[in-house]
Amino acid sequence: MKTTRRDFIKISSLGIGGLALSTSPILGWVPSFLKEDDNTPDDSTAKRYPNYCEVCFWNCAGWVYTNKDKDGNEKIWKIIGNDDDPNSNGRFCPRGTGGIGMYYDKDRLRKPLKRVTGEDGNQTFVEIEWDEAIDIVAKKMKEIKTKYGPESFALFKHGTSGKHFATLFKAYGSKNMAGPAYSQCKAPREEGFRMTFGHPLHSPEPLDIRNTRCLVLIGSHLGENMHNGQVQEMSEAIENGASIITVDPRFSTAASKSKFWLPIKPSTDIALLLAWMHVIIKEKRYDIDYVEKNTSGFEQLKNHVKNFTPEWAYGITTIKPDIIRKTAREMAAASPAVIIHPGRHATWYGDDTQRSRAIAILNALLGSWGRRGGFFNPEKAKLPKYPMPAFPKPKWSWRDIAPDKYPLAKMGVTNLLIDGSHPDKKEGHKIKAWFVVGTNLPVTIPNSKRTIEAIHNQEFIVVVDTMPSEMAGYADIVLPEATYLERYDDLRLAQHREPTIALRMPAAKPYAETRPGWKMCKDIAGKLGLSEYFNYNDYSEVLDWQLKKIGSSLDEMKEIGVMKLDRKYNDLYFHEHMEHEFETPTGKIEFYSNGMLAAGFAPMPVYTKHPEPPKGFYRLIYGRAPMHTFSRTTNNPYLMELMKENALWVNPKTAKDWGLKTGQRVWLQNHQGAVSTFSIAVRVTERIRQDSVYMVHGFGRLNKKLTKGYGAGISDTEMVTDVKIDKETGSTGMRSNFVTFLTEEPEKKEKTV
Amino acid sequence: MREELITSGRMNPGIDPVLHGWHWPIPFYLFVGGLAAGLLFFAAYKVLFGKEKDFPTAVMIGPFVALAAIVMGLMALIYDLHHPLYAWQLFTTIRIESPMSWGAWTLMIVSIVNAVWIFTYLKKIFPDFNLKQNFLRKVISNFIEEKQSEGKLNWDWKYKFLRDFESFLIKNRKALAWLMMILSIILGVYTGILLSAFNARPLWNTALLGPLFLTSGFSTGAAMLMILSKTHLEKIAFSKIDVLLIIIELFFITHMFMGYLAGSEVKAEAAHYFMGGEFTVTFWVNVIILGLVVPLALETMELLNVKIPVIIPGLLILWGGMMFRFIMVDAGQVIRYLY
Amino acid sequence: MRYGMAIDTRKCVGCSDCVVACQTENSIPHGYTRDWISETVEGMYPNLALEIRSERCNHCDDTPCVRTCPTGSSHIIEGGIVKVTHEECIGCGACIESCPYDARYFHPEGYVDKCTFCDHRVKNGQDPACVSVCPTHCMYFGDLDDPNSEISKVVAKNKVKVLAPEAGTKPQIFYLV
């Protein structure tokens, strides 16, 4: 039972099971109603069920419609937004609309799988019954607990059902849980803002974009990332004549709608931000009253940025000094109705907390925090907790894996858990088993080689997913989860201008033998003697209990889907006459942070030079397409039709140097020698800097069972081996990788990891 | 640099990446339609001008080939329909503005007249009908009866109304010839109009396409007769006609391209597809050189008494005529409005 | 009554929600779409312009597709909406060839299919599916004959263009530029 035992199993080797899946009457069904053009079904014959979307983290609330197909069976027909939902305002994005593809995907997991080694030594998955699967998982959890303590079992989670598993793990005795939504995404931003304003932003970010006069996007490609409400508000801002300033090495969709596009040299953003501060302070264009009243450390900041002139920044960023001045004045003129967008995926170069601090400071200088057209003060609904016993206290947690590292991290750091799981971890606390829920670690965490080494070092791995993901291929036990369209989950309590509660309820029975996450947790807990933490028969009982406590009920929520509540306080924006207490050590917005200094970091952001592409190499920039959510949707039958693979954007000059043509397929190799498994089609376009190439993240899937996603384009994660860790938060900077083109197919390697 | 792309949606088969809704059946249908038009025209023409006796191939054999061509064309057309079982609905309505409707009705009427024409010549073509060797014996014997040989004709129609009908037609053969000549011209022009009616396709949308396809169709008809003829007189006559038709055709083609180049941006663009663009080689080699210039030279030489087997220019003209239609249909679908 | 659509290219981000909403609303089989997104990039780095358009049947005033239809299957209903009666369509493809926008396609069941402006929704007073879902509110639908309708005002107030006007079809989808 050494490392080879967890070879990646091509789930396609399922054989008969796989065949049965593809001919299944439910998933084979394509909504096709009567032929007559006048008989298109309409809403009058439909039924609707409230839900909130799980295709991305925005969790827009809406309605799932079912209608009768031509055989008279009630089928999921379409999904549309709920008008009362502030996240979507009744309008879903393409992924939410195409969410029915998660239900109708023919490649879905349908029954629990168990890894077995055949007589020939080959490993395959066999389908097993739920009872057996739950037994095995519970037995292993007990075994790990006895051998190493419960803390050695780590939970990686993403999405709403992750909460049920978090409860299970806390009850079991482990707080070693993390999700890529933090360390591979917004950790630096959250902590950078926390160190400045005393408060992180959370999600959805409380940006008053619809009332802004000037929106500054730095590396945020709003519109290509369909953060629904924000895209809607950006459109409203455009309509209202707000000016947009976009800083991006790529002519993004947002850049095309901007008054100023600053095609910055990648990795130099902090220099630009410092130069903007310089201009705004030097020309006294900052919000003087606001700064005086609410901030601390202004003099130090003024002194700090004294020499960071636009001329200084020009040499670094390639942005002309007069453009830097013009844009600084543009945002100052709009102050305080100005937003320097904090971004979301902020893990770029390894000094990301500092960059986020710089963004926060610039916003503070312009007085936009707590102001109309800037950052509003969000409010979130509160619900009573369903009664359960207190959790046992774990002996150690993820932080103890490397006690002296990442002092600013406030949530589980995925890569730290992987460090704790890796064979090179010789001393101290170690992770021995993984429970992975709804997150595809080999595709999500950079340096997948290291992730896979850690995987091989585990004694047991359980994967909960709806799809045969890459991660599922490494599991010992795969538990097939019902999609969000087939299950109850917790009520959504999203922060926004006004608090709301949104319900998710099933619109169809769980497909095949899939089960909702809460049910798996309840059953496992039962075997572990932890039933008192899951004291219900159906999760709807929990929801009904909570809703009745606030004077509503499940039945009422089924009718309305979203309940709007009144704000407790009238404090959406600051009141000009009132003093504000910030949750920082000084009680003020901190330009200068003693906390940063004490933790061993620069108290004010500084520009550091980052590596640049060697000759013949180009910086790999990755991003989003509006119709995909990372690898989550790259097999969705609806969304794959909108974009079936990613393309490599190449500047015409670069293309000329290499003789590349649009449509030509190339393979990539990065500066550390990593070669892409698959090829990608070149798109020659003026929309990208000459020193960079761009692709959409989430493609190039490696699991053959994904009939649409397998081999479609390149996975950028394969090209991200050089990871720059942000010392403050431990998050993984992924934008310092440089690639070159291989026009011939490189020597074959096994195409499934 | 200008980039134009469809970023999402619309990968409808038959439409993307370039329109290819019509495949080989349509140009094939246009080709055989033009061929039939030419054959029927010459048959009618020779009868009207009293040359019936000198041109037996044109008058009697040509229409046979024409009918076969029309039937094949119709089969191709129906094969191309995505709902062939609904094809009958073509004949439930007449839509003056629809070239497809025109085509359906024209072809139906032409094929009836064509069949009638053949009917009037059956006795001349097959005076000696040996039913015993005929596999259609049972069917045919329902309509004809064998007679002891009186002169050479050894059979006659079984029913009086057929005999009456036949003698009525033979008496009015000139009128029938007029009808068939007019119909053959309509058919010939129609093959061009089918395309030129589509103003969405810049390449097709020129009024010259009707006369051009008519000329080309007649030229292929003459070539076919040249091949089929057994007498020198007929061969030479159709050779001469073909020389004239080829010259007219070249003139039309030149004018067509001049028209494109002088036209709007998209039309000029269309012309460039044939002058350096992706259709240049196929078009110039197959249509202009092999299909027109070489046969023109060969036939001129033949008229100057150089011995050339007539089958060579004949087949070349047929090849050129067919390629012309394939290229026009294909290119027309590739060249689209830019916006 | 004349239905038409206006699409604000300045607000459209090309997210393609209109495409997938049309597919689900109208149960379009996988592999086919009635609407699509096109993108035009002009200029040279760094002076660039990008126009993103959501495109579909233009429900033209002068309809070559209806004209060339041999059976009368393609027809115009109230409000100028161009439709295809599936039972009368023989699938000859003439309308497909006649459309300068390539907005029609062969449905796998043999007939020609295209955007209907969601007339089944419009007759109930709803917007077409694509318009109703658009996150950027960049699409407007309504009666162009009514000067007080939102779409009439939007078209009157802004600089608009139509696609391929030289094809002479008098399209009824207006793009705000």
pLDDT digits (tens, 9 = 90+) for A474-494: 999 999 999 999 999 999 999
Among B316, B305, B307, B182, residue whose Cα is nearest residue B242: B316
Selected residue of C38, C82, C133 to mutate for chain A interface (largest A Cβ count, 10 A) = C133
Residue A239 has pLDDT above 90, yes or no: yes
Q: What Å distances lie between residue A176 and A181, A418, A448, A517, CA to CA? A: 15, 11, 20, 19
In the three-class reduction of DSSP (H, G, I as helix; E, B as strand; rest coil), residue A106 is classed as coil
Nearest neighbour of B199 by CB, restricted to C64, C102, C110: C64
- CA-based torsion, A201, A205, A206, A212: positive or negative: positive
Select from B11, B83, B102 the residue whose CB has the most chain C CBs within 10 Å, as the one to mutate to test that interface.
B83
Nearest-by-Cβ selection for B8 from A627, A652, A686: A627
Confirm whether B232 is domain-assigned: yes
Residue B295, preceding peptide bond in cis (omega within 30° of 0): no
Q: Are residues A686 and B1, on separate chains, in Cβ contact within 8 Å?
A: yes
Among A557, A527, A525, A526, CA closest to A540: A557
Burial of A587: CB neighbours in 10 Å, binned 0-12, 13-18, 19+:
middle
* Domains of chain C, CATH where assigned: 3-176 (3.30.70.20)
List the chains bordering chain B where 3 or more Cβ pairs fall under 8 Å: A, C
Do A626 and C27 count as a contact with CB atoms less than 8 A apart?
Answer: no
| Selected residue with higher pLDDT from A444 and B125 | A444
Chain C residues inside the 8 Å CB shell of B5? 38-39
For residue B52, give the amino acid letter. Answer: E
Residue A632 DSSP label? G
Cα distance between residue B63 and residue B184, in whole Å: 11
Q: A244 forms bridges with which residues in the sheet?
A: A215
B85 in reach of chain A (CB within 8 A) = no
Which among C37, C90, C168 has the least Cβ separation from residue B83?
C90
Mean pLDDT of A670-676: 96
- Owner of token pair 């040359």: B51
Q: DSSP readout, C39-89?
A: EEEEEETTEEEEEEEEE-----SS-HHHHH-SSS-EEEEGGGEEEE-GGG-
C91 interfacial to chain B (CB closer than 8 Å): yes
Question: Which among A642, A652, A685 has CB closest to B9?
Answer: A642
Is B4 domain-assigned? no
A641 and B CB contact within 8 Å: yes
Q: Can you read off the two tokens belonging to residue A611?
A: 């590596």
In chain A, what is the greatest distance between 2 CA atoms, to the nearest angstrom?
A: 79
CB A415 within 8 A of CB A350: no
- pLDDT score for A15: 37
Task: Tell if the CB–CB gap between B9 and A641 is shorter than 8 Å.
Answer: yes
How much is the pLDDT for B337?
78
Interchain CB contact of A192 with C (< 8 Å)? no
How many angstroms separate the CA atoms of A227 and A57, rounded?
Answer: 9
Chain C nearest-CA residue for A263: C46
- Does C26 reach chain B within 8 Å, measured CB to CB? no
Of residues B276, B314, B275, the one with CA closest to residue B296: B314
The DSSP letter of residue B311 is H
Close Cβ partners of A190 (under 8 Å, ≥ 6 residues apart): A182, A200, A201, A202, A410
Q: Which residue has the tokens 């926060």?
A: A360
Half-sphere exposure of B19 (CA within 13 A, CB side): 26
Domain, as residue range, for B132 = 25-334
The answer as to whether B223 is a domain residue is yes
Q: Interface pTM (ipTM) of the complex?
A: 0.96
Rounded distance between C-alpha atoms, residue C148 and residue C125, angstroms: 17
Q: How far apart are CA C88 and CA C96, in angstroms?
A: 15
pLDDT at residue A688 is higher than 90: yes
Residue B12: inside a domain: no
The answer to whether residue B9 is domain-embedded is no
Asked whether residue B100 is domain-assigned, the answer is yes
Q: Which CATH number fits the domain that encloses residue B63? A: 1.20.1630.10
Q: Is-cis flag, bond preceding B17, omega within 30?
A: yes
What is the DSSP secondary structure assignment for residue B158, as one 8-state letter? S
What per-residue confidence (pLDDT) applies to A749?
59
What gap in Å lies between CA A434 and CA A341, rounded to an integer? 36
* C-alpha to C-alpha distances, B1 to A646, A651, A653, A688, C46, nearest whole angstrom: 22, 11, 11, 13, 12
Q: Name residues whose C-beta falls within 8 Å of residue B232's C-beta, 6 or more positions apart in sequence.
A: none
* Chain B environment of C67 (Cβ under 8 Å): 97-98
Q: Tell me which residue in C16, C64, C164 faces B339 most closely, judged by beta carbons.
A: C164
Q: What is the mean pLDDT of chain A?
A: 93
Query: What is chain A's alpha carbon radius of gyration, rounded to the nearest angstrom?
Result: 26
Mutate to test the interface with B, among C44, C92, C104, C111 (most CBs of B within 10 A): C92
Mean per-residue pLDDT, A221-234: 97
Domain membership flag for residue B150: yes
Q: What is the mean pLDDT of residues A662-680?
A: 96
> Cβ contact (<8 Å) for A80 and C133?
yes
List b or e across A720-736, with b for residues whose CB sees 16 or more CB atoms inside 10 angstroms.
Answer: bbbbbbbbbbbbbbbbb
B6 inside domain: no
Q: Chain B contact for C93, CB < 8 A?
A: yes
Is A253 in contact with C52 (CB distance < 8 Å)? Answer: yes
**Do A641 and B11 make contact, defined as CB atoms within 8 angstroms?**
yes
Q: Which of A718, A753, A734 is nearest to A472 (CA)?
A: A753
DSSP strand pairing (A74-81 vs A692-696): unpaired
Rounded to an integer, the average pLDDT of A592-615 is 97
Task: Dump pLDDT digits (tens) for C118-150.
Answer: 999 999 999 999 999 999 999 999 999 999 999
pLDDT digits 0-9 by tens, A20-68: 333 333 333 333 333 344 556 788 889 999 999 999 999 999 999 999 8
Under 8 Å between Cβ of B195 and B329: yes
Interface contact flag, A235 C137, Cβ < 8 Å: yes
Nearest CA of chain A to the CA of B248: how many Å? 43
Question: Burial level of C157, CB count in 10 A (0-12/13-18/19+)?
Answer: exposed
Q: At what angle do helices B173-196 and B25-48 cross, to 10 degrees?
A: 150
Nearest CB among A40, A79, A626 relative to C16 is that of A626
Contact list in A for residue B7 (CB cut-off 8 A) is 643
What's the whole-number mean pLDDT along residues A580-605?
A: 96
Number of domains in chain B: 1
Q: Which pLDDT belongs to residue A12? A: 39
Residue C17 to chain A, least CA–CA distance (Å): 4
Of A642, A652, A686, nearest to B8 by CB-CB distance is: A642
**Residues of chain A contacting B11 with CB distance shorter than 8 Å:** 641
